[in-house]
Structure 1
Amino acid sequence: MNLRDLKYIIAVAETRHFGKAAERCFVSQPTLSGQIKKLEEGLGVAIFERTNRSVAVTPIGNAILEHARLIMEQADVIEQLALAHQDPLAGPLRIGAIPTLSPYLMPLILLPLKQQHPQLKLVLSEEMTDRLLDRLHNHEIDAALLATAVDEPDLETIPLFDEPFWLAHPRDHAFYNKETITRADLENTELLLLSEGHCLAKQAMDICHLKGRQEQGVMADLRAASLETLLQLVGAGFGSTLVPALAMRGSWTSGSGIVARKLEFKDAYRRVSLVFRHSYPRRKALEAFIEVLLAQLPNTVTALKATARKGKK
């Protein structure tokens, strides 16, 4: 048994497919299948139940996989400790970010980070919050930029900045002639939302007091998978939406038929934080990343004093 074998069985368990697991591990399917079969024979148990149509984990397989993940996590910690000892600002830094933040924030950071820390190789991934947290727990990424509160004992959170929301509506909307947009106005308007799973959708509903609304009907049917699609719907006259401040730098702000107005509510913002494992050893790499990020923020957001906060036990 070796770490490679454990990596193989974890990949099969997560993909439920030998071919997809082989692609993830950058080996051929016969190689991966043969190694797993050899491992099962050596242990004297079946980790997977195979049929022509599916792959399932056996009860003993689940117990083995639980320990395999712990071993792989510790192996990753050993590698990170060695790298941190050599040079904490050298090597890959794997950062995940939510889709409503990454396209607008990361372009501001990439070049300055490369100029100031050329040995630090930023590896980016863009996924929704739940998936990023899973990848963080599985040591697939080192830290995640999130806009929702996380309170887990093995994770730490560093609040970075508060990002106000703007209201985007068509030029011919009734809001065009209103000097001030009130919360009551938003409660009675057709608000377009992102599809389920995006934290921005829940934040918009909370700000506009829309809990329980728009679960069915035209507006529910028009939920979009991305902020860009949502804005295209607004430009086409289908309704209004809330836009985080950093997205105001997008090309849609000119020639799209959309009017954008900052909301003047005290709670009309989201807090963006960096979340990472408490055991992550390369703190200096995270500090360098945060320093560059805060220095590049535009004045449309409010930078915060970067102080780590642990989750509750």
Structure 2
Amino acid sequence: MTLKQLKYALALGRLGSYIGVAKSMGVSQPAVSLQIQALEEELGIILFDRSTKSVEPTLNGIAFLEKAQSLVTESRQLEDFAILLSEEIQGDVCLGIIPTLSPFLVPLFIDDLNKRYPKIKLKIQEAITEDILRGIKNGTFHGGILSTPIKLKSNLVLDPLFYERFYLYVSDKHELYSQDEIDIKKLDYSDVWLLKEGNCFMDQVTNICSIQPNSNGNFVYESNNIDALRRIVEYKGGVTFLPELSTLMIPSEQEEMIKVIKGKKRVREVTMVSLKTEVRRNLLNVISQVIKDSVPSQMLSWEDKEIVKTNFVEK
């Protein structure tokens, strides 16, 4: 049994196609087929059901692939272990960051990180929470930055970074525009634009106040992009919710559209997530500290704030 065989089997379980595995790994289809067949013969069990159009893992195959993923991830970490033997802060790091955070957070810290630690090569990929967690477990990501609290089944480390307040963004044509603080109980929810369902930010907004996406008559707009909703409010009217970091990038002529939510300071917790066995933890810790140094200081403490829960449960 070889790591190559395990990697082929994991790819086949993920892609469901020998052709797909061959293309993704830069080898021939017969080579993949022979390696999978040799692995099954050595194990004495059938890992994949080939009777359907899409190749699917058998029940034994599912159990085997779960263990194989753990071994492949650990082998990657062993290869990376040399990073820890060097006193210099250096190495490649791949982070997954949720789309409602990435465009506002990354510009704040990336230049500082490059100046302070020029030998860290950081790759960032926007992804939803579910895909980030899957990527951490299968080795695609070394860590992820997402909104918590979430319900986890995996053996992961959660390092809270900061606490981001929720604000309202109100059209200058709206009747509440003249108010600096708004009681959300007085909102007409038909005026509120929201992100697509299934998004953690959307979950948190609906946990603040029970509302549904705005259809505005014959116009329906679904988006996972906070800036897009802000534009809709500017041109179509109405109200939307914004995370605190996004308000730092709003032009001065539109700052009066930002409104404080009356009452408790409701926040989303932003957290660095990684495997407990992640060998690049020293690099993740460095990145976490640079992020903390880059965000406004009032966001570092959760005191006098209410952390809004998400509805996410790891599958």
Question: Which TM-score tier does this pair reach, normalised by the shorter chain?
Answer: 0.7 to 0.9
Contact 1:98–1:146 (CA<8 Å) still a contact in 2? yes
CA distance in 1, matches of 2:294, 2:100: 18
Provide the residue aligned with 1:227 in structure 2: 226
Question: 5 Å matches for 1:63-212?
Answer: 63-87=63-87, 89-150=89-150, 152=152, 154-186=155-187, 188=189, 190-207=191-208, 209-210=209-210
How far, CA to CA, are the matches of 1:228 and 1:84 in structure 2? Answer: 39
- Give me the whole-angstrom Cα distance separating, in 2, the residues matched to 1:17 and 1:256: 51
- CA change 1:135–1:169 in 2 (3 A) is same
Distance change (3 Å), C-alpha of 1:147 and 1:32: same
Pair 36,104 (structure 1): closer, same or farther in 2 beyond 3 Å = same
The question of 1:283 aligning with 2:281 is answered yes
Could you tell me which amino acid in structure 1 is paired with residue 300 of structure 2?
A
C-alpha distance in structure 1 between counterparts of 2:196 and 2:2, whole Å: 42
When residues 179 and 93 of structure 1 are mapped into structure 2, their CA distance, relative to the original with a 3 A threshold, is closer
Aligned to 1:248: 247
Paired residue for 2:7?
A: 7
Query: Structure 1 residues 304 and 283 mapped into 2: Cα distance closer, same or farther (>3 Å)?
Result: farther
Whichever residue aligns with residue 286 of structure 2, its letter is: A
Write the distance in 1 (CA, Å) between the matches of 2:148 and 2:181.
Answer: 28
1:236 and 1:143 mapped to 2: Cα distance?
38
Deviation at 1:54, TM superposition (A): 1.4
Aligned to 2:307: none
Give TM-score scaled by structure 1 length: 0.84
Q: Is the 1:235–1:258 contact (alpha carbons within 8 Å) kept by the matching residues of 2?
A: no
Instruction: Tell me the CA shift for residue 97 of structure 1.
Output: 0.8
- Aligned equivalents of 2:42 and 2:157: distance in 1? 40
Identity of aligned residues (%): 29
The 1-side partners of 2:231 and 2:69 are apart by 43
Cα shift at 1:216: 8.8
Unaligned runs of 5+ in 2: 303-315
CA pair 264-27 structure 1, distance change in 2 beyond 3 A: farther
Deviates further, 126-135 or 78-87 = 78-87
257, 260, 270: which one aligns with 2:258: 260
Q: CA deviation at 1:292?
A: 1.3
Compute the displacement of 1:127 (Å).
0.7
Deviations 1:107-152 (A, max 9, x none): 2222221221122111212111122112222232122111121454
Following superposition, the deviation at residue 256 of structure 1 comes to 7.7
**Alignment-derived partner of residue 310 in structure 1:** none
Structure 1: tracts of 5 or more residues without a match: 306-313
Say what the alpha-carbon RMSD is for the aligned residues: 2.8
Which residue of structure 2 aligns with residue 239 of structure 1? 238
Deviation of the 1:271 alpha carbon? 1.5
Q: Which amino acid aligns with 1:226?
A: N
Structure 2 counterpart of 1:303, one-letter code = L
How far, CA to CA, are the matches of 1:248 and 1:23 in structure 2? 43
TM-score by length of 2: 0.83
Equivalent position of 1:61 in the other structure: 61
Q: Which moved more, 1:103-112 or 1:280-289?
A: 280-289
Secondary structure of the equivalent of 1:177? Answer: coil
1:290/1:257 CA distance change after superposition, 3 Å: closer
Change (3 A) 1:260 1:18: farther
